[in-house]
Structure 1
Amino acid sequence: MLTLQAILELALDDKLIARNPARGIKTLPSIRHRKNVYLTYEQGEQVAAAADRHHLIGHAGRYGYVIHIAAYRGRRWSEIATLRPDDVDLEE
């Protein structure tokens, strides 16, 4: 928190902001950790099949691939969204 307060103080000194919203804050709220819940193989397959059934006209089968990549390759959405057809080897 001290780092953020110091950065905001510099912005205040440079007249980039009107006031330091972090001034006077001593502690941050504690973070509560949740238990991760994972889909089973069968549930992942059901989600992929449902995505394929509820497709836009002319895009049949495309959404299931995205679900499979996310579920079985451990990719984040930002990584999946930037994939191009040449990046995916369906034979392997």
Structure 2
Amino acid sequence: MIKQIKQQQGHVSDSCTDCGSYVDIGAVVEAEDTLLVLSFIGDNALLQAQTMQQIAQQRFTDTKADIKNVDNSISLQLEFAFSVEKMIFQLENQL
């Protein structure tokens, strides 16, 4: 992926002098990238995972969630319907 971006750099015209961005977001985010896995540790790990699950499913109602106890930690798997939902969720929750 990085190799492809570097190859395309010469074909990009950045007219925004403030932002300096030359990467098309579609070149970085893949449509199939819908799974987010979060790990929680500590006494309230399960509560933290359940809270994050609730936040995700309230924001994006088609999100599927699975909570598992894995090696002294709690794993939360969130499967979003679209990769953009995953990205928005991560940005909104500073993940």
Structure with greater strand share of residues:
2
Which has the larger Rg?
1
> TM range, normalised to the smaller chain?
under 0.3
Structure with greater helix share of residues:
1
Give the number of the structure with larger relative contact order, counting CA–CA contacts within 8 Å between residues 6 or more apart: 2
TM-score when normalising by structure 1: 0.27
